[in-house]
């Protein structure tokens, strides 16, 4: 298996060993979907109409949760330094983390979305059209997560800072993804996610190298 594959496998097995890491964002997503009906009111038609937006906001907020520890643990215990010294490119590391995050966040999200839809009275037929966008969105959000996680290594500000960095950059994904009925929206969401995924490893890699200096 290539180095890249090995890095992804390592990240995934670490995630499996610490189930909290992928369970927490999942739980948060469901909590958001659960919270909003309390705030908005249980009127079924209203909730169903707002459902795409609610699911997307939930996914966005949930994606912020893993960010602060994304690279912090490896940085603190020296693993990051070791890998870089051994010649692993920081970009490769970041890209592997991106893919592992996408799998660890996106796949549970696909399973949780129907549950949330149920609570919002959003018909499964319509959900079918939302899911590919959510999967692409998870890729884009993971890309933003590795940028935010690498760029905030050693910074104070915690969740607030991460939210401030990610949310403006996530607006296009949010806009394209939460309008599944619009023609071309899915394509735009996927294109945006791919662009973010292409750029992110380079930015994150540079930030990881800068954080050692």
What does the binding site for another protein look like in residue numbers (CB under 8 A)?
147, 151-152, 154-157, 161, 164-165, 167-169, 171-172, 175-176, 179, 182, 188, 192, 195, 199-200, 203, 206-207, 210-211, 213
The C-alpha atoms of residue 141 and residue 146 are separated, in whole angstroms, by 9
Nearer to another protein, 20 or 154 (CB): 154
Nearer to another protein, 48 or 161 (CB): 161
Nearer to another protein, 16 or 164 (CB): 164
- Min dist CB 92 to another protein, Å, is 18
Nearer to another protein, 94 or 112 (CB): 94
- Min dist CB 203 to another protein, Å, is 5
The C-alpha atoms of residue 91 and residue 144 are separated, in whole angstroms, by 14
Q: Which residues make Cβ contacts (< 8 Å) with residue 88, sequence separation at least 6?
A: 3, 7
Please calculate the CA angle 60-183-53 and round it to the nearest 5 degrees. Answer: 25
CB atoms within 10 A of CB 153: 18
Q: Which residues make Cβ contacts (< 8 Å) with residue 29, sequence separation at least 6?
A: 58, 59, 61, 62, 109, 112, 116
Residue 181, φ and ψ in degrees, nearest 5: -75, -20
- Min dist CB 46 to another protein, Å, is 17
| Residue 144 CA, distance from chain mean position | 7
- Min dist CB 69 to another protein, Å, is 17
- Min dist CB 2 to another protein, Å, is 27
The C-alpha atoms of residue 64 and residue 152 are separated, in whole angstroms, by 13
- Min dist CB 38 to another protein, Å, is 26
Give the DSSP letter string of 171-213: HHHHHHHT-TTSTTHHHHHHHHHHHHHHHHHHHHHHHHHHHH-
Nearer to another protein, 32 or 165 (CB): 165
Nearer to another protein, 24 or 171 (CB): 171
């Amino acid at each position: 298996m290539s180095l890249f594959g090995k890095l992804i496998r390592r990240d995934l097995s670490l995630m499996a060993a610490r189930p909290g890491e992928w369970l927490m964002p999942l739980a948060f997503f469901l909590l958001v979907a659960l919270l909003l009906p309390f705030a908005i009111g249980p009127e079924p038609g209203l909730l169903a109409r707002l459902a795409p937006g609610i699911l997307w906001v939930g996914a966005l907020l949930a994606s912020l949760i893993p960010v602060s520890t994304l690279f912090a643990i490896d940085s603190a215990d020296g693993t990051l330094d070791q890998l870089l010294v051994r010649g692993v490119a920081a970009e490769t590391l970041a890209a592997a983390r991106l893919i592992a995050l996408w799998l660890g966040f996106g796949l549970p999200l696909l399973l949780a979305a129907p549950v949330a839809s149920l609570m919002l009275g959003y018909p499964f037929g319509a959900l079918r059209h939302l899911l590919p966008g959510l999967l692409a969105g998870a890729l884009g959000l993971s890309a933003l997560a590795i940028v935010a996680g690498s760029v905030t290594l050693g910074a104070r500000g915690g969740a607030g800072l991460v939210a401030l960095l990610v949310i403006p950059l996530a607006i296009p994904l949010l806009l394209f993804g939460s309008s599944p009925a619009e023609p071309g929206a899915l394509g735009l969401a996927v294109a945006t996610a791919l662009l973010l995924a292409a750029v992110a490893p380079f930015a994150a890699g540079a930030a990881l190298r800068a954080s050692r200096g």
